[in-house]
Amino acid sequence: MSVAVALFTRDLRVRDNPALTAAVREADQVVPLFVVDDTLVPCPPNRAHFLAAALTELDTELRALGGALVVRSGTVADEVARVLAETGATSVHLAEDVSGYSRRREEALRRTNAAVHVHSGSITATSAELVPSTGRDHFAVFTPYFRRWSAAHRRKPLPAPPSLSVPALSSAALPGPTALGSGEPSPQLRVGGETTGRALLEQWLDGPITGYADHSDDLAADATSHLSAHLHFGCLSPTDVVGRVDPTDAGGLAFARQLAWRDFHHQVLAARPDAAWRDYRTRTTPGPVDEKALAAWKAGRTGYPIVDAGMRQLRTEGWMPGRARLIAASFLAKSLRQDWRLGAAHFLHWLVDADLANNQLNWQWIAGTGTDTRPNRVLNPLRQADRYDPDGSYARRWLPELAHLPGARVHRPWRENVDAAVYPPRLIDCVGS
Residue 326: give its domain's CATH number. 1.10.579.10
Among candidate residues 341, 334, 335, 338, the one with its CA nearest the CA of residue 368 = 334
Q: How many CB atoms lie within 10 A of CB 190?
A: 18
Convert the pLDDT of each residue in 267-301 to its tens digit: 999 999 999 999 999 877 888 999 999 999 999 99
Residues 178-194 have a mean pLDDT of 96
- For 390-416, write each residue's pLDDT tens digit: 999 999 999 999 999 999 999 999 999
Residue 220 φ then ψ, to 5°: -75, -25
By three-state DSSP, how is residue 338 classified? coil
Model pLDDT, residue 278: 94
Q: What is the pLDDT of residue 376?
A: 86
Task: Give the three-class secondary structure for 159.
Answer: coil
Q: Give the largest CA-CA distance in the chain.
A: 77
Q: How confident is the model over 33-48, as pLDDT tens digits?
A: 999 999 899 999 999 9
pLDDT at residue 433 greater than cutoff 60: no
Share of the chain above pLDDT 70, in %: 99
Contacts of 404 (CB under 8 A, 6+ apart): none
What's the pLDDT score for residue 432?
Answer: 56
258 & 366 share domain: no
Enter the pTM of the model: 0.96
Is residue 30 predicted with pLDDT exceeding 90? Answer: yes
Is residue 348 over pLDDT 70? yes
Tell me which residue range forms the domain holding 95: 3-123
Read off the CATH number of the domain in which 200 is found: 1.25.40.80
Choose the final residue of a domain: 123, 141, 164.
Answer: 123
Domain-located, residue 278: no
Could you tell me if residue 163 is inside a domain?
no
**Secondary structure element (H or E) that encloses residue 322, with its range:** helix 322-330
| Residue 372: band (very low, low, confident or very high) from pLDDT cuts 50, 70, 90 | confident
**Residue 37 falls inside a structural domain:** yes
Same domain? For 112 and 232 the reply is: no
CATH number at residue 38: 3.40.50.620
Question: What integer pLDDT is reported at residue 127 of this predicted model?
Answer: 78
% residues pLDDT > 90 (the chain): 90
Instruction: Report the pLDDT averaged over residues 200-204.
Output: 97
Residues 300 and 407 in one domain: yes
The predicted-structure confidence for 302-342, as pLDDT tens digits, reads as follows 999 999 999 999 999 999 999 999 999 999 999 999 999 99
